Structure 1
């Protein structure tokens, strides 16, 4: 497999952990950020300690042209792309009747549209890689179509990610591209962690290493036959 990866939203948190994990496995990495330049540059510098090439690229990927430029720059500077991890997506916790038009557009743009823009721009490079991976991020229980009291807009976007992923998976298997979803629950970097842990069957949050493991399961060369799947990393939460 060509070891060239773009991880969106990788300046901090889950995205950074994924990018560094891939670097440790020999992947050249494009760290993407919107506003956190210093953190992204620090991440890319750390990645180079694994003996790989790492770059930090800025883009507001809710804008189609910026998403396209991000992908083009990443592919040019890394010498191609074989893996795209779409990690960007802002949370909104609010009853659906109270969501403003501006908030609606923001949550759909950051979670769903950005994924579409980046993936669409990346497809020519992924097809040329002769064996590529797309890993998208939803959230725990997003594939269960039920009412949501406080985060409906966010879940609508994440459920959309799952439908988008499955549709792409069917279309792209002929091109030797797999498309899958990782759906975390509460992670160690989540907000209101102590309060949320009380609701968890496992009585703890997911570690970033556990989320990395799920992402790597789909990227691993032995996963060529696995596509269109959703892997929850939620410790039994919301089952």
Structure 2
């Protein structure tokens, strides 16, 4: 039986590119979406054309029960779940002193709490399989503890993601499960695109970020690592 991957937020953009890259490697895939049903179906069909099983599932993963239900639905429909890519994460650029409590919680819920809910739910399935890959999407430069007053809650969540990933990697190292972080910089799908700040002088292509996810998929001796795909940005 082939391995199964779930990529959250994979109807379009970076998530779509990662999901299709995994499908090209022969993994059965679950396309997750919240609002983009039409795009999710198109992505599902494209993955299916690569010769793998592909399903699509809707869920608001910022809600605990919905996140847990998504994991169980993938397992029920595809027979297991060995690869989880936590790609979902809202972005907001706004001065920290002007943020509302709702906006604060929205950033933490989508970028940190949702991956936590999903990962905690999938760990028992990976343990039973004796093999697993958790690949979390971060933010290039989130390891550098510097002031970012325009995107503070976003960076707090992404820095928290790194700390969570490292702790989980150490905890699960004896279970055949690796946990790593792919940290994009300014990509072609980014909301903000100050390409002049990128030393390599261009935006990251989604396929380049997806290649980093595939890299972690294929490595058995790398865990707790952060791979920045950023062209030298935020060094």
Q: Give the TM bin, normalised by the shorter chain.
A: over 0.9
For residues 186 and 219 of structure 1, the distance between their equivalents in structure 2, rounded to whole angstroms, comes to: 23
Residues 1-239 of structure 1: pairs in structure 2 closer than 5 A? 2-193=2-193, 196-220=194-218, 223-239=219-235
Deviations 1:14-37 (A, max 9, x none): 001100111111000000001111
**1:174 CA displacement:** 1.0
| Aligned-CA RMSD value | 1.1
**1:201 CA displacement:** 0.7
For residues 2 and 134 of structure 1, the distance between their equivalents in structure 2, rounded to whole angstroms, comes to: 17
- SS at 1:146 equivalent: coil
**1:192 CA displacement:** 4.2
Do the aligned partners of 1:83 and 1:134 also contact (CA within 8 Å) in 2? Answer: yes
For residues 206 and 127 of structure 2, the distance between their equivalents in structure 1, rounded to whole angstroms, comes to: 30
**1:125 CA displacement:** 1.0
Do the aligned partners of 2:12 and 2:39 also contact (CA within 8 Å) in 1? Answer: yes
For residues 19 and 192 of structure 1, the distance between their equivalents in structure 2, rounded to whole angstroms, comes to: 23
Deviations 1:56-85 (A, max 9, x none): 000000000000110000111111011000
Tell which deviates more after alignment, 7-16 or 121-130: 121-130
**1:2 CA displacement:** 4.8
* TM-score of the aligned structures, taking structure 2 as reference length: 0.98
* TM-score of the aligned structures, taking structure 1 as reference length: 0.96
Moved over 3 A (4+): none
For residues 92 and 168 of structure 2, the distance between their equivalents in structure 1, rounded to whole angstroms, comes to: 26
